[in-house]
């Protein structure tokens, strides 16, 4: 019979070798032993340039979300809301700062060379903007040194590449602050948005992207919910929100059962708590939308779907702080 220890045992792969870690705690944030530190959070911060942790078996399936902290120069990878990996990174140097905000993976290439910087190799490239920002393997000196891209350890970049799909959500934060969001000018001013107005404010066009990761973005100032699949806009609807939304929060759909949809909040840099934090029914009830649109949306919601709630406008022409662009394919 399988022992309790073996049932709870997993491997954290570390660059240059691996460490076998036994744990009796259900949370991956708790460890009995580690070659780096007494707990996982400290272990991630103690990683040296080029090192990484990787434990995909703690969440074998589901949608993936990457969170990049410019301050700590770390990449965090969640699957189905569970942390499955972390790595050191090197982001944009002064004058070439990496933009912050919420992105989707637009393009993937195993072998890619820069179109801007002397054909520099960018192995396992995952493009975030058409203006040249991407995640890829590269040199890691221990400080920001790129021209705006997010460099990662080679093996980690390969592992991440094999785990992700086009359309995956990527959150980039600065100064341990919660990220802001400002998509491309045409996201809410596109043909689809015009049709939405003609249709009474809502549109549902799932045929524009039949497969791929689903991301849902709720903008409090715009009173609008946007649905992306594989990074492509497939739905948009007006919503009514009771009360205020003061910060950006991210959630992953953990399960769907007779009681409804269960959303777990993901701890973005600058946010922390112990245990799981599920979005309560009272909070979900604060948001109302057209019944037909909600029914259509429910049909594409599966465990692992990402929800980002933002206090920023999706309209590029709006006033306020806009730090990045959520780009779609031109």
Nearest in space to 151 (alpha carbons), one of 92, 79, 104, 105: 92
Angle at alpha carbon of residue 11, lines to 10 and 16, rounded to 5°: 175
Sequence length of the chain is 330
- What are the helix and strand counts (H, E) for the chain? 6, 21
Catalytic choice (96, 111, 112, 149): 149
Tell me the CB-side half-sphere exposure of residue 59, using CA atoms within 13 A.
Answer: 21
Q: Specify whether 136 is catalytic.
A: yes
Q: Where are the beta strands (DSSP E) in 258-305?
A: 260-266, 287-288
Rounded Cα distance between 206 and 295, Å, is 13
Q: Is the dihedral of CA 179, 277, 86, 35 positive or negative?
A: positive
Report whether 143 contacts 41 (CB < 8 A): no
149 belongs to the catalytic site: yes
- What whole-number distance in Å separates Cα of residue 95 and Cα of residue 112? 24
Catalytic residue among 111, 136, 223, 262: 136
Q: Find out whether 239 and 265 touch, Cβ atoms under 8 Å.
A: no
84: left (phi over 0), alpha (psi -120 to 50) or beta: alpha
Instruction: Measure the CA–CA gap between 239 and 21, rounded to whole angstroms.
Output: 46
Residues 202/290, Cβ–Cβ less than 8 Å:
yes
Instruction: Using only the alpha carbons of the chain, give its radius of gyration.
Output: 20
Q: What are the Cα distances from residue 266, in Å, to 61, 64, 111, 147, 240?
A: 17, 12, 32, 29, 24
Q: For residues 127 and 75, what is the distance between their CA atoms, to the nearest angstrom?
A: 15
> Which residues are tagged catalytic?
136, 149
């Amino acid at each position: 019979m399988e022992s309790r220890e073996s049932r709870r045992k997993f491997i954290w792969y570390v660059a240059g070798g691996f460490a076998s870690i036994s744990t009796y705690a259900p949370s991956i944030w708790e460890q009995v032993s580690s070659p780096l530190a007494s707990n996982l959070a400290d272990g991630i911060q103690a990683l040296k340039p080029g090192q990484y942790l990787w434990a995909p078996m703690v969440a074998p399936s589901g949608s993936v979300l990457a969170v990049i902290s410019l301050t700590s120069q770390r990449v965090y990878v969640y699957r189905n809301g569970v942390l499955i990996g972390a790595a050191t990174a090197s982001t944009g140097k002064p004058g070439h700062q990496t933009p912050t905000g919420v992105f989707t993976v637009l393009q993937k290439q195993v072998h890619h060379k820069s179109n801007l910087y002397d054909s520099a190799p960018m192995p396992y490239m995952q493009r975030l903007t058409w203006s040249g920002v991407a995640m890829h393997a590269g040199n890691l000196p221990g400080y920001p040194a790129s021209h705006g891209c997010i460099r990662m350890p080679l093996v980690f970049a390969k592992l991440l590449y094999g785990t992700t799909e086009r359309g995956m959500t990527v959150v980039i934060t600065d100064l341990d602050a919660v990220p802001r969001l400002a998509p491309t000018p045409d996201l809410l001013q596109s043909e689809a948005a015009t049709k939405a107005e003609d249709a009474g404010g809502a549109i549902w066009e799932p045929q524009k992207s039949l497969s791929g990761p689903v991301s849902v973005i709720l903008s409090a100032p715009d009173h609008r919910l946007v649905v992306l699949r594989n990074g492509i806009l497939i739905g948009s609807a007006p919503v009514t929100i009771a009360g205020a939304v003061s910060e950006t929060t991210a959630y992953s759909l953990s399960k769907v059962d007779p009681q409804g949809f269960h959303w777990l909040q993901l701890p973005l840099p600058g946010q922390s708590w112990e245990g799981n934090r599920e979005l309560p029914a009272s909070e979900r009830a604060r948001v109302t939308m057209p019944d037909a649109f909600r029914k259509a949306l429910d049909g594409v919601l599966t465990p692992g779907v990402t929800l980002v709630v933002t206090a920023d406008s999706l309209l590029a022409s709006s006033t306020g702080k806009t730090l990045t662009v959520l780009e779609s394919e031109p």
